[in-house]
Amino acid sequence: MDNISLILHVSAAVLFIGPQVILFLAVVPATWLIEDQRLRRDVTMVVTQRFAKLSAVALVLLLVTGLYQFYSVVPTAISDDMMSYRFGTLFMTKMILFTIVVALVALHVVVGRSVGQLTEAVIAGEGEEFELDNARRRSFLLSALLMFVSFAVLAFGVMLGRGEFSYMAS
């Protein structure tokens, strides 16, 4: 069961981070080429809604399998006194970063809705393009930050998984 949990955990990380990179480097910049605001909105909504569902499943799977890994795989001597080992600092940092990722995802949902509302206003002729462009820029920068923090969580996970490194006394 430990191997299955680890496989699911790593797969969930891939499903969460991989699409972030693709959206950031390819999909979103590709939408910049779409001049028709309605079409751009529709394309963006299809992609982001599918990504949101995938992300939600991945985050839940990461949480569940991560808890399993902590309680079933980490040696009791380490988990009972984790701050005496490098593991404690790594684990606490990873959990803080994971919490930041969840907060950034929630913030990105709010920003994304704002972009959607501004897009609707521009399409209806009631909004300003510069406001929409600024909101899109904020969303893009937030995506970059989210991707960076997600990679940091991944890096700490890799360090935690190397017992010869993480189980050393601090």
The percentage of residues in the chain with a pLDDT greater than 70, rounded to a whole number, is 100
The percentage of residues in the chain with a pLDDT greater than 90, rounded to a whole number, is 97
Report residue 170's pLDDT band, with 50, 70 and 90 as the boundaries. confident
Structure tokens of 4? 């299955």
The pLDDT assigned to 104 comes to 97
The answer to whether 86 and 166 have CB atoms below 8 angstroms apart is yes
Tell me the average pLDDT of the chain: 95
d(CA 21, CA 27) in angstroms, rounded, equals 9
Collapsing DSSP states into helix, strand and coil, what is residue 170? coil
Report the 10 Å Cβ neighbour count for 46. 10
Report the 10 Å Cβ neighbour count for 118. 21
Residues of the domain holding 49: 2-166
Q: Would you say residue 1 has pLDDT above 90?
A: no
pLDDT (tens digit per residue) in 114-141? 999 999 999 999 989 999 999 999 999 9
Report residue 40's pLDDT band, with 50, 70 and 90 as the boundaries. very high
The pLDDT assigned to 119 comes to 94
Q: What predicted TM-score, i.e. pTM, was given to this entire model?
A: 0.92
Q: Would you say residue 80 has pLDDT above 90?
A: yes
Q: How many domains does the chain have?
A: 1
Q: What angle do CA 8, 59, 31 make, to 5 degrees?
A: 110
The H-or-E segment that residue 47 falls in is: helix 37-68
Q: What mean pLDDT do residues 51-62 have?
A: 96
Structure tokens of 89? 């600092």
